[in-house]
Amino acid sequence: MYLCSKKGFRFSKATSIILALLYITTPKLAGYLEAGHVGLINSMAWIPFVIFATIKLSEKPKLINSIFLALSLSLLFYSHLPTFLIIAVSSGIFLLLKKKLAYYLLAGILTFGLTAVSLLPQMEWQKASTRYLLLKDKDVYPKWQSVFEMPKIALIPWIDGVKSMQKIDSEKWISIGFIPFLLAVYGFLKVKRKTKMALLISAIPILLVVLNNASPIYPILLKQNWYLLLRVSTRFWILIILILIYLSGIAIENLSKQKKYKLIVYIVSFFAVIESIILGFVYLHKPVKYNQNLAPIGVYEYLASDKSLFRVFCLTRCLSQKTSSVYGLQLLDGYNTVQQKNFNQQAWQLTGIYWNYYTLSIPPIGAYTFSQLKPDAKSLGEYNVKYLISPYSLSDKYFKLVKKIDGFFIFENESFIPRIYEIYKPNYIKVYIDEKQKQLVISEVYSSGWKAYLNGKEEVLVQETPNALRAVDIKPDTKFVDFKYNPDNYKLGKIIGLTTLLFLTIYVFKEK
């Protein structure tokens, strides 16, 4: 941000230091930290590089600046896709207005080349994901109580007290601080009329989108697929933060050039940074709500004492994914922002409950909170679930009670089908088989990116079973089968990526 301010905006060293501090202490970052949004935290590092590269490209339309922009956009892409799209479109609009679109398109081609290895498989796999359910629900967060709630949280979130401030949802946490806002207002008054119009034209649509359900254009927004897939309207708030930081820089530059105001503006800037730090610090130090539903360590220790390969299913998601990983346990349930459609639907049978909406957890929180699940022993057995954890007793005859620890029942599934794998890695599985076998079914969810090779050489079709597992037909004299995750679009992306890197390498050596 310092580099962007000094070399891009052409601000003084002192102003650039202040803007860098305002950026790195922005309270919104505390919201990302509180929510555990690792991708959004990482994206904050690369956004200033995109801005700086965009400015450089607008001033000097050269291939080297297109490459700089492409590298910056690529690093942003690998951090957080929605932020990448928002910043990339904003960069494109700016360069279009500066009549430098050709060099932006060149940067876009290079960005595609540098990200194809990840982008193409994602696009191929998206059709198999549950993300489409967002288009069905037509619901976007956060929900504002009124049109006044947003500016209140942005400027004076402390008005109702610290405890009230700490209860603000992380997606609603858009505080910018009152002092930085005043600096930005002064900066806005000092910019040229043409710049004022450009900033207003940029800021007003962003604010209307961020307002979500309180926005006058909300009915129109709900008809836009891109808006529904975004899922969180405040992702656009980063643009408002960048505008305010730029205007604060204008204010500091203008006032610091006047001797009588120089000391005052630096003192005000100091308190602006202090306010940002305090807001972020107080918000991060909200009381931690511990999950009272989690099973005690004794449950993990009992399960870990079984050294065979198996999966576990807790009917109330009582096993922490982190702690389970520490103890080497594999879970059937989980929490993720994107899931495969076939497993999501098969989970209805596995858990004994139905849902038809977008959910981050399997099973959905509402499902196990307000009702008791009725899991199917046979289906769970096919998915290699050996143990079930439940706070209540299960009546199915195939569930044998083996232990009770602090109110948690541990059941062994007598319909359990073992996994006998020679090698088991995230992208590679090796299975030795009986030579008389005609078909092999493994308890792994089917995905089109997986390939199978008989005896490690002859490729055969990986089929999807009715319960969404992987199956292959076996030929005589087959001793083992190798499964490798290697999507076709990944291969294509690798070729495109290596070609792009080769071009960039040649260019660098050519230009010394």
Do both 166 and 280 map to the same domain?
Answer: yes
Give the percent of the chain with pLDDT over 90: 88
* Residue 73, in any domain of the structure: no
User: pLDDT tens digits, residue range 39-56?
Assistant: 999 999 999 999 999 999
HSE toward the beta carbon, residue 1, CA cutoff 13 A: 22
Q: Does residue 171 lie within any of the structural domains?
A: yes
pLDDT reported for residue 464: 97
- Please write down the long-range contacts of 16-19, taking CB distance under 8 Å and 24 or more positions apart: 16/249, 18/248, 18/249, 18/252, 18/266, 18/269, 18/272, 18/273, 19/245, 19/248, 19/249, 19/252
- pLDDT tens for each residue of 479-509: 999 999 999 999 999 999 999 999 999 998 8
Does one domain contain both 141 and 283? Answer: yes
Residue-level pLDDT at 335: 87
- Is pLDDT at 435 greater than 80 in this prediction? no
**What is each CA distance from 50 to 32, 53, 427, in whole angstroms?**
20, 5, 33
Residues 450 and 387 reside in one and the same domain = no
Helix (H) or strand (E) holding 494: helix 488-511
- What's the confidence (pLDDT) of residue 336? 84
Residue 30 lies in a domain: no
Q: Are 383 and 413 in contact (CB under 8 A)?
A: no
pLDDT computed for residue 348 by the predictor? 95
- The helix-helix angle for 27-35 and 237-256 (nearest 10°) equals 150
Is 467 found in the same domain as 375?
A: no
Same domain, residue pair 266 and 196: yes
Of 386, 413, 440, the one marking the end of a domain is 413
Query: What angle is formed at CA 426 by the lines to CA 422 and CA 432, rounded to 5 degrees?
Result: 20
By the 8 A CB rule, do 248 and 185 touch? no
| Helix, strand or coil, per DSSP, at residue 423 | strand
Angle (nearest 5°) at CA 44 between 289 and 280: 40
What pLDDT is stored for residue 395 in this prediction?
86
Strand order in the sheet with 311-314: 330-331, 311-314, 385-390, 408-413, 399-405
**Domain contains 434:** yes
Phi, psi angle pair for 396, to nearest 5°: -60, 130
Burial class (CB in 10 A: 0-12, 13-18, 19+), 82: middle
Residue 111 lies in a domain: no
Which domain-ending residue is among 289, 314, 333?
289
Q: What is the pLDDT of residues 446-464, one digit of tens each?
A: 999 999 999 999 999 999 9
**CA 321/CA 302 separation, integer angstroms:** 16
| Residues 261, 148 share a domain | yes
Find, among 365, 308, 346, the residue nearest to 444 by Cα.
346
Cα–Cα distance, 246 to 111 (Å, whole number): 26
User: Which residues make beta-bridge pairs with 481?
Assistant: 431, 454
Structure tokens at 185: 């207002």
Q: Are 75 and 49 in contact (CB under 8 A)?
A: yes
- Pairing of β 330-331 and β 311-314: parallel
Q: How many CA atoms lie within 13 A of 490 on its CB side?
A: 11
CA distances from 414 to 5, 257, 319 (A): 65, 80, 21
183, 270 in Cβ contact below 8 A?
no
Residue 404, φ and ψ in degrees, nearest 5: -135, 120
pLDDT band at 103 (very low <50, low <70, confident <90, very high): very high
Residues 353 and 440 in one domain: no
Q: Which residue has the tokens 């503006």?
A: 265
So what's the pLDDT on residue 283?
96
Pairing of strands 423-425, 408-413: unpaired
Asked if residue 331 is part of any domain, the answer here is yes
pLDDT tens per residue, range 119-171:
999 998 988 999 889 998 888 999 999 999 999 999 999 999 999 999 999 99
- Do 408 and 439 belong together in one domain? no
Categorize the per-residue pLDDT at 472 as very low, low, confident or very high, splitting at 50, 70 and 90: very high
Which of 289, 306, 338 finishes a domain? 289
pLDDT value for 148? 95
459 in the same domain as 430: yes
Quick one: 280 and 138 in the same domain?
yes
Residue 72 lies in a domain: no
The number of distinct structural domains making up the chain is 3
Q: What is the per-residue DSSP string for 232-299? A: BGGGGHHHHHHHHHHHHHHHHHHHHTSHHHHHHHHHHHHHHHHHHHHHHHHHHTSPP---TTPPPHHH
**Cα 207 versus chain centre, distance:** 22
Q: Is residue 156 part of a domain?
A: yes
Residue-number span of the structural domain to which 449 is assigned = 423-487
- Do 326 and 405 belong to one domain? yes
- Using omega within 30 degrees of 0 as the cis cutoff, is the peptide bond preceding 142 cis? yes
- This prediction has a pTM of 0.91
Question: DSSP letter at 213?
Answer: G
pLDDT digits (tens, 9 = 90+) for 221-266: 999 999 999 999 999 999 999 999 999 999 999 999 999 999 999 9
Q: Helix, strand, or coil here: 129?
A: strand
The verdict on 144 and 264 lying in the same domain is: yes
pLDDT, tens digit (0-9, with 9 covering 90-100), for 12-48:
999 999 999 999 999 999 999 999 999 999 999 999 9
**Helix-strand-coil percent breakdown of the chain, rounded to 5?**
55, 15, 30
